[in-house]
Amino acid sequence: MTGKARAKMRAAAIGAVALVLAILALLLVPQARTRLDHLAFDTLQNLWPRPYVPVPVRIVDIDEDSLARLGQWPWPRHSLAALVENLRAAGAAAIALDIILAEPDRTAPTRVSADWPLSPAMRQTIQTLPDPDAVLAAAIAGGSVVTGFAASSVVTGFAGGHQPAGEQSPAKARFIFSGPDPLAALPDLGQGVRSLPALEQAAAGTGAVAFTADGDGIIRRVPLIVRLGEQLHPSLALEALRVATGKRNILVKSAEETGALTQLALGPLQIPVDAQGSVHLHYTRPQADRFVPAWKVLDGSADTRALDGHVVFVGASAKGLLDLRLTPHGDIVPGVLMHAEVAEAAQLGALPQRPDWMEGAETLLAVITGLILIAAAAWMAPLAGALTTLAVALLSLGLTALLFLDMRLLADPLPALAAAILAHGITALVRHRQDQAERAFIRGAFARYISPNLVRHLLDNPQSLAVGGERRECSFVMTDLAGFTTLVEKSDPATLLHVLNGYIDGMVRIAFTHQGTLDRIVGDAVAVMFSAPVMQPDHAARAVACALEMDSFSRAYVIRMREQGHALGLTRIGVNTGMVTIGNVGGGSISDYRALGDAVNAAARLETVNRHLGTHICVAGSTAELCPDFHGRPVGELVLKGKSEATLAFEPLPAGSDAQAYLAAYALMAAGDTAAALLAFAPLADGDPLAAFHLKRLHAGESGVRVVLAEK
């Protein structure tokens, strides 16, 4: 390796460290990531607000003009009763009151008469007058009315006067669960602040008036389902849709693994929600057509065509009633608008989604873009590196916009770009200070390890030097040495090369003994393929035998190195068999004999899963079934990260090893007898990491032999 190549590698390594630290900072300091998320999502909303599409949703607005005509708030309950009756007469499908009537009407005759020195006869006459709350309850009992309630720990809708916490009442909607009960996954919002019992009892439904205001006061999400104590309740918007459609049930779907909410269903209406039961709002620009002044409904001058068959939310835009919210557009709007936006978007299927996997995808994007920009800074000229950075940024932003516009997915590329550009800048700065005269690539460090069978094949078949390939079933052995990174960080170059060369030499010699072809060496990792370039009918058996011998060598070598003061871990090995494309890859300036295909990647994934399972070797079932004398024990049906199909895997054992106790416990687990499997695995766990792995799974509530791996 030349001086310039080493300089580039050092710069790239420093950039990689900066990238890792930047990603860790984003993961460990959620406030920073949240601010970037808000910036990204608000920008998307401002650039592409939701187009307003008229749907049967309207707002009856208690606006400044209505207060001027009908008097200050709170209005007498008989006025609200008249409002409800007029809306019902206009054909409203549901009347949702974004009003919390927690106290009796202060204008009730019995309350007013108590404050005046009246004669007994006059007092008795006044007390015979109708009670306004009873009048309103009777109007509500006419049907299609949804009353609202607030939770003490959230921002609530407007109301008149003090609002004491009321008794909890069960929801009138019935929840049907698909998946685990999500109650434990939802935050408990405490006691509800409810309307008078008589009003709630008369209503067709009750819904939560709750908004999730972020630290900057902007409403970006609205809960559609909330938890009060041990009870679930729908939001005002969801309950209004339920009453309008005449449904009784709300289907609640949750993830099998976590119990977190994923979707709500109301008849054919499918509404994706986040783990807290909330939806992200995609606001339209202000639309006057949504609003009907309350005074027009009361005096009968409102156009009934704007109300017939509509979900009608009754709320206030009057500033004095303090029910105003801030949107990402910078608009100050009445809180009732959020409920209407939800009801509209739910019917249109226009609610943005941010799936649980999106944050992981964004982290992966940070790694990919970071590595691309680190490579650009380390190996490209400054202008080319800057253009690459610009192209990567534009591509990421364009993909984000495409996901939002075409799939309504909320993705935030800003954390990834911030981490990647920081790593690029640091790499470029280091490269700028390095010696520009050294030019070379990383070549020849292990040239002596070229596979003899590959050399013979190329000598006998010079035509194979041409670029091209063929499909063939091959077996692959992938290895990785635990503790190598620590050794690199703590050892001087001479010691590092001494330890590494001895290890690589031993591993490659074993591969050659079994007539394997060395595919590549990356640091401490060795990749070996069998049945290429020369076909080997017993390639699977050769791969397993090679893996066992490598494991035996690694154990002995690690003990020897530890005695010399070099801390190494044992080798993890993955073995897989499958169809791949083999051949010479490259062109006139460079070429390499490689195998390309998913079987190669699967072998690498099986190598990494050893650290989760506690095993040293993990062999795919596709390999084991081709080995007539295979001796080992099943690990389980592994769903590797990034895969949807399970891979049956085995741990090969040296000849003479006794696995009967483990096999018996595994059979119980495979049969679904979790209790018996727990008893069978328990005495094995102390000395058997794989048994301990399954015991831990079973204690965690998992069952069967299917193991879904969330990490590589």
pLDDT digits (tens, 9 = 90+) for 285-328: 888 888 999 999 998 888 888 899 999 999 888 887 767 788 87
Instruction: Give 2's contacts (C-beta < 8 A, 6+ positions apart).
Output: 438, 439, 440, 441
Q: What average pLDDT score do residues 521-541 get?
A: 91
Look at residue 165 in the predicted model and tell me its pLDDT. 43
Look at residue 691 in the predicted model and tell me its pLDDT. 94
Max CA pair span of the chain: 123
Contact present, 182 and 124 (Cβ < 8 Å): no
Per-residue pLDDT tens for 626-680? Answer: 999 999 999 999 998 778 889 999 999 988 888 899 999 999 999 999 999 999 9
Look at residue 44 in the predicted model and tell me its pLDDT. 81
73 or 692: which leads in pLDDT: 692
Look at residue 435 in the predicted model and tell me its pLDDT. 43
User: Mean pLDDT score of the chain, rounded to an integer?
Assistant: 83
3-class secondary structure per residue, 59-101: EEEECHHHHHHHCCCCCCHHHHHHHHHHHHHCCCCEEEECCCC
43 or 528: which leads in pLDDT: 528
Per-residue pLDDT tens for 121-171? Answer: 666 666 666 778 888 888 999 889 999 888 654 444 454 433 444 455 677
Provide the β-strand partners of residue 291. Answer: 59
367 or 460: which leads in pLDDT: 367
pLDDT at 345 over 70: yes
In the chain, domain spans: 3-46+355-433, 53-348, 447-657, 658-712
What token pair was written down for 228? 């009060």
Look at residue 571 in the predicted model and tell me its pLDDT. 94
Look at residue 83 in the predicted model and tell me its pLDDT. 92
Look at residue 156 in the predicted model and tell me its pLDDT. 42
Q: DSSP code of 179?
A: S
Provide the β-strand partners of residue 176. Answer: 251
**Phi, psi (rounded to 5 degrees) for 212:** -100, 95
Q: How far is CA 581 from CA 169, 440, 517, in A?
A: 65, 30, 15
Q: pLDDT-based confidence at 446, cuts 50/70/90? A: very low
What residue type is 144 in one-letter code?
S
Q: pLDDT-based confidence at 622, cuts 50/70/90? A: very high
Instruction: Give 4's contacts (C-beta < 8 A, 6+ positions apart).
Output: 434, 435, 436, 437, 438, 439, 440
Q: pLDDT-based confidence at 241, cuts 50/70/90? A: very high
Q: What average pLDDT score do residues 40-56 get?
A: 86
Q: How far is CA 133 from CA 160, 297, 596, in A?
A: 14, 20, 77
Nearest to 580 by CA among 604, 558, 559: 604
Look at residue 124 in the predicted model and tell me its pLDDT. 63
Per-residue pLDDT tens for 389-445? Answer: 888 888 888 888 888 888 888 888 888 888 888 888 888 888 767 644 343 322 333
Look at residue 4 in the predicted model and tell me its pLDDT. 65
pLDDT at 262 over 50: yes
CATH 3.40.50.2300 fits 447-657, yes or no: no
Instruction: Note if the bond before 533 is cis, omega within 30 degrees.
Output: yes
Look at residue 553 in the predicted model and tell me its pLDDT. 96
Q: pLDDT-based confidence at 683, cuts 50/70/90? A: very high
Look at residue 183 in the predicted model and tell me its pLDDT. 84
What gap in Å lies between CA 147 and CA 134, rounded to an integer? 15
Q: What average pLDDT score do residues 541-545 get?
A: 97
**Which class for 21: exposed (0-12), middle (13-18), buried (19 or more C-beta within 10 A)?**
middle
Look at residue 503 in the predicted model and tell me its pLDDT. 93
213 or 326: which leads in pLDDT: 326
Contact present, 11 and 431 (Cβ < 8 Å): yes
Look at residue 323 in the predicted model and tell me its pLDDT. 75
In this structure, of 24-33, 98-107, 345-354, the range with the lowest mean pLDDT score is: 24-33
Give SS3 for 433: helix
Q: What average pLDDT score do residues 466-475 get?
A: 79
Q: What average pLDDT score do residues 44-59 get?
A: 88
Q: Which residues of 297-334 are buried (b: 16+ CB within 10 A; e: fewer)?
A: bbeeebeeebbeebbbbbbbbbeebebbbbbbbeeebb
Residue bearing tokens 């207060």: 67
Look at residue 155 in the predicted model and tell me its pLDDT. 41
What proportion of the chain, given as a percentage, has pLDDT over 70?
A: 87
Q: pLDDT-based confidence at 615, cuts 50/70/90? A: very high
Look at residue 489 in the predicted model and tell me its pLDDT. 78
pLDDT at 50 over 80: yes
Look at residue 169 in the predicted model and tell me its pLDDT. 65
Look at residue 354 in the predicted model and tell me its pLDDT. 83
479 or 23: which leads in pLDDT: 479
Per-residue pLDDT tens for 214-223? Answer: 777 788 888 8
Look at residue 447 in the predicted model and tell me its pLDDT. 38
Look at residue 614 in the predicted model and tell me its pLDDT. 92
Per-residue pLDDT tens for 550-560? Answer: 999 999 999 99
Look at residue 706 in the predicted model and tell me its pLDDT. 93
Q: How far is CA 656 from CA 546, 631, 632, 636, 653, in A?
A: 18, 9, 10, 22, 8
First-to-final CA distance of the chain: 31
